[in-house]
Amino acid sequence: MVSRLQAFLVRRLLWALPVLALVSVVIFGLIRLVPGDPAIVMLGADADPARLAAVRAELGLNDPIYVQYIDYIGDAIRGDLGRSYVTNREVSAAIAARLPTTLFLTLAGFIVSLAIAIPAGLLSATNRGKTLDGVGLSFGLLGVSIPNFWLGIVLLIAFGVNLDWLPVAGYVSPLENPVEGIRYLILPGITLGTAMAAVVTRMLRSELLEELRHDYLDAVRMKGVSDLRVLGHATKNAFIPVVTVIGMQFGYLLGGSVVVEQVFSIPGMGRLLLDAIGSRDYITLQGVVLVYTTFFVAVNVVVDAAYFFLNPKLRGEQ
């Protein structure tokens, strides 16, 4: 028998697939909108005619556009995103080499943001109107107003250049060297995670205040349950809507990593993307954007599943 969770997930996947399809059409179409002959745009007008012909063949420019698209997607599903004419590398290989770096960075930002937001939101809500709440509220407002790249530069000036405590540029994989790897991820993680921490702090605070207002908590308190456990109960309920926001923010972290990689010279997918833009390497560009978007959509599906799982009403428990 199909459980409600399974049915729900299938529905979400059925939503995600057309979105991905549409997104891929848009990316594909956009690249074709580049004025002029893409082959000449990529190689320059005085390029070797044989290479121009090879690029046209690789792009399938002689076929009708829908054939080109179907070919591209067919290959993409099998993991082949084409070969870059600038670097002469397989795009999927280039992405595979960079993807773990970007994911570790995003994860670092995610951990930092929750490590800040959960205590900050709880303290802010339970100390409503007091100094701590003011600090939490100010953080919520400032955190979303400071662009992450500038926060990164300020951290670089303070911790990297003046205090010399942490590495300011580069990347070591935490899989190869956990201690160094984490040291390299601390400043980028804070840079990336602060904005999300601010958003989640605000959201958690207001949801928790809403929850603490409910009468049922008084009843629980009167039964002699400790304040801490009452808070725990309220927090669990307050978290349900917060999860959606956390999920959406995770996607933004992925986008923000492009900027943070640039600040801290981290060789991730964002650098690959910027290099591709700089060298008009449209084959790499469309592959990278497609992979980012796939992750973004996948995260949304996972978040919806988590939301479903946390929310007893949706789960329909008997």
Partner 1 sequence: MSEESGENSRTEPRAQSRVQSPLRRRGKAFVARYRRNTLAMAGLVVTGSVILIALLAPVLAPYDPAAVNVPARLQGPSLAHPMGTDHYGRDLLSRVLFGARIALQVAVATPLVAGAIGIPVGLLAGYSGGRVDDALMRLMDSIFAFPAILLGLTLVAVFGQSLTNIVLALGIVFIPQFARVTRGSAVSVVEEEHVRVARSLGASHVRIMLVHVLPFCLSAILVQATVTAALAIVLESSLSFLGVGVPSPKPSWGAILRVGKGYVDSGEWWFSVFPGLAIVVAVLGFNLLGDGLRDVLDPRTDPNR
**Which residues sit at the interface with partner 1, rule CB under 8 A?**
15, 18-20, 22-23, 26-27, 30-31, 33-34, 128-129, 141-142, 144-150, 153-154, 156-157, 161, 168, 205-206, 209, 251-252, 254-256, 258-259, 262-263, 273-274, 277-278, 285, 289, 292-293, 296-297, 300
User: Closer CB to partner 1, residue 59 or residue 156?
Assistant: 156
Q: Which residues contact 302 (CB under 8 A, 6 or more apart)?
A: 247
Distance of closest approach, residue 146 Cβ to partner 1, in angstroms: 5
31 neighbors 82 (Cβ within 8 angstroms): no
Q: Which long-range contacts (CB under 8 A, 24 or more apart) does 30-33 make?
A: 31/282, 31/285, 31/286, 32/65
Distance of closest approach, residue 266 Cβ to partner 1, in angstroms: 14
User: Closer CB to partner 1, residue 183 or residue 271?
Assistant: 271
Distance, CA of 235 to CA of 23 (rounded, Å): 37
User: Closer CB to partner 1, residue 162 or residue 226?
Assistant: 162
Distance of closest approach, residue 292 Cβ to partner 1, in angstroms: 6
User: Closer CB to partner 1, residue 98 or residue 205?
Assistant: 205
Distance of closest approach, residue 197 Cβ to partner 1, in angstroms: 16
In single-letter form, the type of residue at position 308 comes to: F
**How many C-beta neighbours within 10 Å does residue 59 have?**
22
User: Closer CB to partner 1, residue 255 or residue 316?
Assistant: 255
The strand ranges marked E within the chain are none
Q: Which residues contact 264 (CB under 8 A, 6 or more apart)?
A: 152, 156, 168, 169, 170, 171, 187, 188, 191
**What is the helix (H) or strand (E) element at residue 26, kind and residue range?**
helix 4-33
Distance of closest approach, residue 222 Cβ to partner 1, in angstroms: 25
